[in-house]
Amino acid sequence: MSGRFSDVVNWLLALLVVCAVCIVCIGISFFLTLNISVLFLHVGNVWHGYVGSQVMADYRRVLTYLQWVPAGLHFQTLPMSRHAALHFVDVKRLVVELQALTLISFLTGGFGIHYAKKNYQLWRLAVLFPRVLALLLVICLMLYLSFNDSFILMHHLLFNNSYWVFSSRTDPIILLLTPSFFAKLFACWSVLSLVASALCWRRIIKLLN
C-alpha cells in the first residue's frame, strides 16, 4: 500500500512540475507576444484623423504601462475615458499576477526537474509532457476556432465590471484593438507557447538519456 501511495505521489509531483514548466512557457510567450504586438498593427500616416506615428506611440505607452510603469496610463494624442483608464488598471493587475505566477512556476519547475533528475524520476516527466502538450493544443484550437465568443466570455470571467466595453467615440484606441488583432495575438501566443513547451520536453528527454 505504501509503495502504491508513493507511486501516486510521484506521479502527482511529476504532473505539478510539467504544469509549472508549461506555465512558464505560456507566461514568457505571452510577454514576448505582447512586445512584438506592434508588428500586427498596420497604421498609415493618417489614422482616423490622427497622425499614425503618434497613435503608435500611444499604443507603446500601453505596453510600457502594462509591464513596467507603476503610475497611471496617459496618452499624448488619443483621448481616453475614465472607464477605459480603469480597464487598463484591471488589465495591468492581471499582467502583474501573470508575472508573479510565471516566476513562481519557474522556481517550482526548476526545483522539480532537479529533484526528478536526482531521484531518477525524469521518465515520469517525459511520459506526462506529450499528454499535457496535446491537451494544450486542443484547448488552443478550440479557443481559436471560437475566438470571438471565447474572447467575450473571458472578459466576463476576468472582469467584474463593464469597463472593457469601449466606445470608439470616447476611446478611439478600440479601433486599433480589433477582434482580428487579438485573434492574431492569440494565435502567435499559442504557437510560441506550444513550441517552447515542446522544446522543454525535448530537453527533458535529453536529460533522461
How large is the average pLDDT for residues 158-185?
95
User: Residue 9, SS3?
Assistant: helix
Query: Residue 180: inside a domain, yes or no?
Result: yes
13-26 pLDDT, tens per residue? 999 999 999 999 99
**Higher pLDDT among residues 185 and 208, named by residue:** 185
Buried b (16+ CB within 10 A) or exposed e, 83-110: bbeebbebbbeebeeeeeebeebbebbe
Q: Which pLDDT value is given to residue 153?
A: 95
CA distance 62 to 88: 8
Query: Residue 175: inside a domain, yes or no?
Result: yes
Query: Residue 48: inside a domain, yes or no?
Result: no
Structural domain for 13, as ranges: 2-42+82-208
Q: Which pLDDT value is given to residue 70?
A: 76
Q: Which pLDDT value is given to residue 2?
A: 66
191-203 pLDDT, tens per residue? 999 999 999 999 9
> Of the given ranges (3-7, 48-52, 63-67), which has the lowest mean pLDDT?
3-7
Please, are residues 109 and 20 in contact by the beta-carbon 8 Å criterion? yes
Strand partners, 46: 51
How large is the average pLDDT for residues 167-171?
95
Domain total in the chain: 1
Query: Residue 55: inside a domain, yes or no?
Result: no
CA distance 188 to 102: 18
User: Residue 51, SS3?
Assistant: strand
How large is the average pLDDT for residues 19-47?
96
CA distance 16 to 96: 22
Query: Residue 184: inside a domain, yes or no?
Result: yes
Instruction: Using the predicted structure, report yes or no on whether residue 1 has a pLDDT greater than 50.
Output: no
Query: Residue 6: inside a domain, yes or no?
Result: yes
User: Residue 46, SS3?
Assistant: strand
Mean pLDDT over each residue of the chain, to the nearest integer: 94
Is the pTM of the predicted complex or chain greater than 0.85?
yes
Query: Residue 154: inside a domain, yes or no?
Result: yes
Query: Residue 112: inside a domain, yes or no?
Result: yes
| pLDDT bracket for residue 5 (50, 70, 90) | confident
Cα separation values, 125 from 104, 113, 122, 163, 196, Å: 19, 8, 5, 42, 16
User: Considering the chain, what percentage of its residues have pLDDT values greater than 90?
Assistant: 92
122-143 pLDDT, tens per residue? 999 999 999 999 999 999 999 9
